Structure 1
Amino acid sequence: MENTLTLDSWLGLRNLIVLLFAGYWLIRLLEFLLKKIILTNRGNKKILKILNKIILLYQPIGLLLVLLGFISINYVVHSIFLVFIGAISYYYIKNYVGGVIYKVNSILDKGVSVTIADITGDIKKFLPFGIIVNTEKGDNFISYSKLDKSGYTINSKNDTILRQTLYLKTPYSKPELLDMFFDNPIFNFKEAPIVSEIPGSENYKLQYTLEKGISSENLISFLKEQNIETSLINNTTE
């Protein structure tokens, strides 16, 4: 008799999918019940926030487990098949993973006014592969890849904490910059500064959130004292 607890069979894969599906809806049910009980309780709101992050991570982790179960049935054939599918779907996979990361870690939210490249508007919806930004000219779809490449500036948010982007020209290395920033109290470390290398350039992109009461001019003055040139746009030409 085939062992239904192992994953190296179609029956085992089916049971895994059923188990993951049941677990997902159990978490959804818990989320629904918490929303119905006490919405004004701060503790419950924190639990709901944690549950939302668990749901976001549950989906890709569950999919990964299913794929591993699929591979275990026939390592060679199924691995080649998935590599082929992954190669032709790389752009979508990259966007999907980027979306999960943004939803879990980012301060972006529905209704927030943002500027991304030359587009300014309110975030209307989060999709699996990008976001919808509503502007005066209508809705614009922006992929998570473009969001990561261009950076973004939050123009307004309920808690008035803004996420902004600067481009830096500096002799310092990325680790030296991060050490410098983490020693400076002007940054809000609930949303830690991110320094990214710009392909084809020695410059860096800085995404940051300042403490309340601190202006961008304070940051620019500090960077100037460190002989770091700043710009609001990427002047690198490829």
Structure 2
Amino acid sequence: MNNWNDLYALILIVFAIYLFLFLCFFGFTRYLKKRRINKRYLAWINKIRLFYKPVAWLVIIGGFIALDPLTHGLIIVLLAVFGYKQLGNYVSGLFIRSSPMVVTDTLVKAGKIHGRINRIGTLGMVLGTDQGERWVWYNFFDKTGFTLISNQTNVLQRALYLQTELSKEELLDLVFNHPVLALGKPINIKELANKKTFLMHYTLIKGAKHEDFINYLHGHNIMTNSTENFNA
């Protein structure tokens, strides 16, 4: 980046790519729905669209810093410090929203909160509970763990914290070796700041037992917990 015009051109290019992808996603999604093709492909399309936005912002921010690395870099650092909590909510939301089960009317259980998803936002979601609508930050789901129950298929998706000496790649290999979870259902594993601690989102198909999977992990010396605090 040599001047502001270069940054403006970069922004236009990023926006043009997003517009092109949006039109492609819209057309392809309608095509898949009409052809009644496996919903797994729709889920992949939504993931690509979901993660393109933060990647595009990172490219633009990188171009902004390149104009004046010292001054602009300091500005971005200060903004990141002040917006740390909101950034954490946004990043957590990316992984949660990437699940095909995170749609309106899905039942959510997290800690003492039970409700159905009414609206899905960038930093959190609105749940309809017995006490009325309630806003829940995505960070809350990371802290408490959660279960998703589809209103249509009765499929369960759970969140589980793991502690292990295995690397993320070794852990993924071990998880995919489980016969129940290796059926094309979404599995996400995120490495946390705490050493050797991971947050895993996985799906239980009809007839699968949560306890069986827990015992499978324990049999491979992997500690499990419903929250990040293993010492509680």
**Same fold judged by TM-score > 0.5?**
yes
1:47-66 maps to which residues of 2 (within 5 A)?
A: 48-66=42-60
User: For residues 192 and 74 of structure 1, what CA distance do their matches in structure 2 show?
Assistant: 41
1:203-218 maps to which residues of 2 (within 5 A)?
A: 208-218=202-212
Alignment correspondent of 1:175: 166
Amino acid at match of 2:208: I
* 2:104 and 2:117 in contact (8 A); partners too: yes
Residue from 14, 26, 30 that aligns with 1:32 = 26
Alpha-carbon distance change, 22 to 156 in structure 1, aligned in 2, over 3 angstroms? closer
Alignment correspondent of 2:121: 127
* 1:34 and 1:44 in contact (8 A); partners too: no
Residue from 173, 183, 191 that aligns with 2:186 = 191
Alignment correspondent of 1:150: 144
CA deviation map 1:155-201 (0-9, x unaligned): 34423321235678xxx83539947655432435523375978969x
* 1:99 and 1:129 in contact (8 A); partners too: yes
User: For residues 108 and 7 of structure 2, what CA distance do their matches in structure 1 show?
Assistant: 43
Structure 1 window deviating more from structure 2 (50-59 vs 219-228): it is: 219-228
Residue from 58, 62, 71 that aligns with 2:65 = 71
- How well do the aligned residues superpose, as a CA RMSD in angstroms? 3.7
* 1:161 and 1:212 in contact (8 A); partners too: yes
Alpha-carbon distance change, 173 to 233 in structure 1, aligned in 2, over 3 angstroms? closer
User: For residues 6 and 174 of structure 2, what CA distance do their matches in structure 1 show?
Assistant: 52
Say if 2:4 is the partner of 1:10: yes
* 2:144 and 2:227 in contact (8 A); partners too: no
Alpha-carbon distance change, 159 to 223 in structure 1, aligned in 2, over 3 angstroms? same
CA deviation map 1:49-96 (0-9, x unaligned): 443222212211111111111111111110111111111111111111
User: For residues 91 and 123 of structure 2, what CA distance do their matches in structure 1 show?
Assistant: 8
Q: % of aligned pairs identical?
A: 29
Alignment TM-score, normalising by the size of structure 2: 0.76
Any idea what SS the aligned residue of 2:135 has?
strand
Any idea what SS the aligned residue of 1:163 has?
strand
Structure 2: which 5+ runs fail to align? Answer: none
Paired residues, what number?
Answer: 228
Larger radius of gyration: 1
Alignment correspondent of 2:17: 23
CA deviation map 1:84-110 (0-9, x unaligned): 111111111111122122222464222
Alignment TM-score, normalising by the size of structure 1: 0.75
Alpha-carbon distance change, 222 to 10 in structure 1, aligned in 2, over 3 angstroms? closer
User: For residues 222 and 38 of structure 2, what CA distance do their matches in structure 1 show?
Assistant: 45
1:214 CA drift (Å): 2.3
* 1:112 and 1:157 in contact (8 A); partners too: yes
Alpha-carbon distance change, 233 to 89 in structure 1, aligned in 2, over 3 angstroms? closer
Alpha-carbon distance change, 42 to 86 in structure 1, aligned in 2, over 3 angstroms? same
User: For residues 197 and 21 of structure 1, what CA distance do their matches in structure 2 show?
Assistant: 32
